[in-house]
Chain A
Amino acid sequence: MAESYPADLLYHPEHDWARIDGDEAVFGITWYAQDSLGELVFFDLPEVGSAVSANEPYAELESVKAVSDVYSPMSGEIVEVNAALSDAPETINDDPYGQGWLVKVKLSNPGEKDSLLSAEDYKGLLSQ
């Protein structure tokens, strides 16, 4: 897919996105992140029920050449993981904002969204 940063998402400077719906949010990585990593070949699914903290790594993504930490944009508890990625991690490359989502989180502090970036601000960060 072509480079894009949907306006309805919020972004973390470590190249993650959050789609917030009340006190839950879905997390994933941005187009830029998947493009930098190259074709993804392994996503070690985090466990449902585990805690995530804003600005901390909660999972690893691996391409053929490299391992990369995935940072949590917000804090909470993982309530769902995208199990389809264990067999087809390349889905993250094909559709980073849709079928390539990583986890759904029950937020412990929804106010953290105020420190995330808009699509415009994130694009500004990338162009620096």
Chain B
Amino acid sequence: MSAASETLRTTALHARHQEAGARLVPFAGWEMPVQYEGIRQEHMAVRKAAGIFDVSHMGEIETSGPQAAEFLQHILSNDVTKIEVGGSQYSVLCKEDGGVLDDLFTYRLDQDRYLTVTNASNHDKDFAWFERHADGFDVNVEDAADRFAMLALQGPEARRILARHIDGVAPARMRTATAKVAGVEMLVCGTGYTGEDGVELLLPPDGAVQVWDALVGDGATPVGLGARDTLRLEACFHLYGNDLSEDRDPLGAGLGWACKLHTGFIGSEALSAMAEPREKLVPFAFTGPGIPRPGNPVVISGEEVGIVTSGTMSPCLEIGIGMAYLPAAATEPGTPIGIDVRGKLRSAEIRRKPLYDKEN
């Protein structure tokens, strides 16, 4: 093990990953499993049965106090007043100019208490942003990242597996519940990042091994970050750092639905002033061989007009798929495009979201 890797953080399940023969890689300052048996196999386990992911690298920020809702309304793009106790909501965190600092899920734990889940690579930046803008609000903003391990149990069998271990009733989609799972008290959330039904579990790190063992022992396949990426891309969910960045706005990214401009959040003025986005993020699929990769230029009529931000081989569709920013005028589904993959022009076409639809 190199000196550099010794500085990486590890999750409560690190020993389990090593025992399972996982390939561990550095990711956002953490040593995380990228795969166990193989990305394709793990991907299909989630589509056909159930997979379990250790996503304890994700961060958490707890916001509480009499003005918690007003404060979050000020910084989050969505309409926070619509979240009921036990509910959840997706939003983005914008800079004044509309650039995206992160994309977030916020859970309302109580009347005046919210938990926001951050991307690992953005957590410190997000927390600093929360703290900086909390001035003038009667709120307490707490970095809660060390209080939680996070597991995702996803797939058509996920809820059946959960039902055998939960003391109580599992929350519906987009809802949350406090319950015991495998004897550990936790927050169970009906959310995920795979395009499948399932839950995400926020629990004390010292209970993670017990819960992991119970769910894996009952048939959930351990799944690494490799398949997490192919699953989210088939479902056309954004990945911060690829499809979202401080240099891109949420409207061009197709996240206008999560931006309620009338709420006056930071960045809403800049977004209101924008005419139609100049570029839009669109999903595409190859019509021939090849695999698109982030950074590949998109070519229409011999001209470079855009850039691929996410790309992979789709395990379900068995073709190259991706998302790219293209001029807004050229984003009609069905439009043929070329992708320059390291000097070879590959044929693709713009598709509708999601690229993989489990109903079909």
Interface residues of A (CB under 8 A from B): 38-39, 41-42, 44, 60, 62-65, 67, 86
Contact = CB atoms under 8 A, between A and B. Distances in A.
Contact of B226 (A44, A65, A86): A65
A65 B39 contact: yes
B211 to A, nearest CB: 28
B38 A42 contact: no
B173 interface: no
A64 B293 contact: no
Contact of B39 (A62, A64, A67, A86): A64
Interface of chain B, main secondary structure: mixed
B32 to A, nearest CB: 13
Contacts of B35: 38
30 contacts: A38-B23, A38-B38, A38-B39, A38-B226, A39-B38, A39-B39, A41-B291, A41-B313, A42-B289, A42-B291, A42-B313, A44-B289, A44-B290, A44-B344, A60-B342, A62-B313, A63-B39, A64-B39, A64-B40, A64-B226, A64-B230, A64-B312, A64-B313, A64-B315, A65-B34, A65-B229, A65-B312, A67-B291, A67-B293, A67-B342
Contacts of A65: 34, 39, 226, 229, 312
Given A62-B313, A64-B313, 4 more contacts: A42-B289, A42-B313, A64-B39, A65-B229
Interface in B119-162: none
Interface string B311-324: 01101000000000
Nearest to A63: B39
Contacts of B230: 64
Nearest to A67: B293
A65 B227 CA distance: 9
A64 B317 CA distance: 13
A44 B342 CA distance: 12
A38 B226 CA distance: 11
Interface in B1-55: 23, 34-35, 38-40
A46 to B, nearest CB: 12
Contacts of A60: 342
Nearest to B43: A64
B286 to A, nearest CB: 10
Nearest to A35: B23
Nearest to A93: B38
B308 to A, nearest CB: 13
Given A64-B313, A65-B34, A42 B290 contact: yes
